[in-house]
Amino acid sequence: MDKGLKSLIALGLIDFGPKDELIIGHGDFRYTIDVNWGALNPQYYPVHDCHEMAMDKNGRIFLLTNHTKNNVLIYDYWGSARCLGYRLSRCPRVDAQR
């Protein structure tokens, strides 16, 4: 376990649940992390310098990167994604690797 993770645990910002799942937050605002959510193949969907994330009213997350292969990744609630690449050409829908 690295020092950063140990520090977050010591501060009470990260905890482990009954099945060793990672939990972040405190008080009434605690969330279980799904480490497989949005897990895309980095060869086809590389992310270079993610510099912005935003959520629309439909719950989709827009991730902006500097990589010309996929300047914009759009994730749905389940972690599946679509991308807009160089010159905003559409990429096929990609289901998260579960």
Q: What is the pLDDT of residue 22?
A: 82
Residue 68 lies in domain: 36-98
Q: What are phi and psi of 49, to 5 degrees?
A: 55, 65
Q: Compute CA distances 36 → 58, 69, 80, whole Å.
A: 21, 22, 11
What is the overall mean pLDDT for the chain? 76
Is residue 28 domain-shared with residue 43, that is, in the same domain?
no
Is residue 24 domain-shared with residue 67, that is, in the same domain?
no
pLDDT in tens, 2-46: 677 777 777 777 777 777 778 888 788 888 888 788 888 887 777
Residue 34 near residue 91, CB atoms below 8 Å: no
> What mean pLDDT is predicted for residues 38-64?
85
Q: What is the pTM of this model?
A: 0.60
Is residue 27 domain-shared with residue 40, that is, in the same domain?
no
